[in-house]
């Protein structure tokens, strides 16, 4: 089964990590007033934490 990545995903990986992109997006929404500081912390922590765990498992299994 061939791996298929979307065009945007491919370019996002080349430009920056998804963790940084989530942090920048959450920060922009917080500064614009759409998120409270508590929401920003939750979104950043959950995504960065879970993505970090996924990255560790991928490296341990040799998928990346």
Domain, as residue range, for 46:
36-64
Q: pLDDT over 70 for what percent of the chain?
A: 78
pTM value > 0.75? no
Q: How many domains does the chain have?
A: 1
Domain assignment of residue 25, yes or no: no
Q: Is residue 23 part of a domain?
A: no
Sign, CA torsion 44/6/4/16: negative
Residue 63 main-chain phi, psi, to 5 deg: -80, -20
Q: Which of 13-17, 38-42, 44-48, 50-54 has the lowest mean pLDDT?
A: 13-17
Q: Tell me what the mean pLDDT of segment 8-21 comes to.
A: 70
Q: Is 42 within a domain?
A: yes
The answer to whether residue 43 sits within a structural domain is: yes
Please identify which residue in the block is written with the tokens 């990545």. Answer: 5
Higher pLDDT, 32 or 12: 32
Q: What pLDDT is recorded for position 12?
A: 63
């Amino acid at each position: 089964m061939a791996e298929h990545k979307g065009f945007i995903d491919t370019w996002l990986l080349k430009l920056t990590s998804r963790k940084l992109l989530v942090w920048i997006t959450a920060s922009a929404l917080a500064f614009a007033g759409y998120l409270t500081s508590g929401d920003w912390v939750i979104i950043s922590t959950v995504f960065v934490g879970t993505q970090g765990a996924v990255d560790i498992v991928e490296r341990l299994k040799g998928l990346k």
